[in-house]
A and B are shown apart, each in its own frame.
Chain A
Amino acid sequence: MVTPIAARDDVLRILDGVMDPEVPVLSVRELGIVRDVIVDDAGAVTVVVTPTYSGCPAIRVIEEDIVAALTNGGIPNARIRTTYAPAWTSDWIPAEAREKLRAAGIAPPESAESGALVQLVRERAAVECPWCGSRDTEVRSEFGSTACKSLCVCRACLQPFELFKSI
Chain B
Amino acid sequence: MSEASVVPAPPSRPNVLFEYLLRCGDDRLVLGHRLSEWCGHGPILEEDIALANISLDLLGHSTMFLRLAGEVEGKGRDEDALAYFREAVEFRNCQMVELPVGDFGFTMTRQFLFDAYDIVLLDALSSSTHAELAAIATKALKEARYHIRHSGEWMLKLGDGTEESHRRTQRALDELWRFTPELFTADAIDMELHAAGVAPDLPALRPAWESIVRDVADRATLTIPHAAPRAASTRDGRSGAHTEALGHMLAEMQIVARSHPGASW
The main secondary structure of chain B at its interface with chain A is helix
Q: Is B150 touching A143 in the complex (CB atoms < 8 A)?
A: yes
B163 in the interface (beta carbon within 8 A)? no
Please report the total number of B residues contacting A with Cβ < 8 Å: 38
CA distance A84 to B138 in the complex (A): 9
A residues less than 8 Å from B116 (CB atoms): 118
**Chain A, interface residues (CB within 8 Å), range:** 20 to 34
A residues less than 8 Å from B131 (CB atoms): 85
Q: Is B57 touching A141 in the complex (CB atoms < 8 A)?
A: no
CA distance A112 to B141 in the complex (A): 13
Given contacts A84-B64, A117-B145, contact A151 B53 (CB under 8 A): no
A113 in the interface (beta carbon within 8 A)? yes
Point out the residue from A54, A112, A145 that lies within 8 Å of B57, measured CB to CB.
Answer: A54
Contact with A along B13-50 (1 / 0, CB 8 A): 00000000000000000000000000000000011011
Q: Is A55 touching B49 in the complex (CB atoms < 8 A)?
A: no
Point out the residue from A84, A119, A143 that lies within 8 Å of B135, measured CB to CB.
Answer: A84
Given contacts A113-B145, A118-B212, A147-B53, contact A55 B46 (CB under 8 A): no
Given contacts A88-B139, A145-B49, contact A54 B61 (CB under 8 A): yes
9 smallest beta-carbon distances between A and B, as pairs: A55-B60, A54-B60, A85-B135, A143-B50, A55-B56, A141-B46, A143-B53, A87-B139, A167-B142
Interface residues of A (CB under 8 A from B): 51, 53-57, 83-89, 112-113, 117-122, 140-145, 147, 151, 165, 167
Interface residues of B (CB under 8 A from A): 46-47, 49-50, 53-54, 56-61, 63-64, 116, 119-120, 123, 131-132, 134-136, 138-140, 142-143, 145-146, 148-150, 152-153, 156, 212, 216
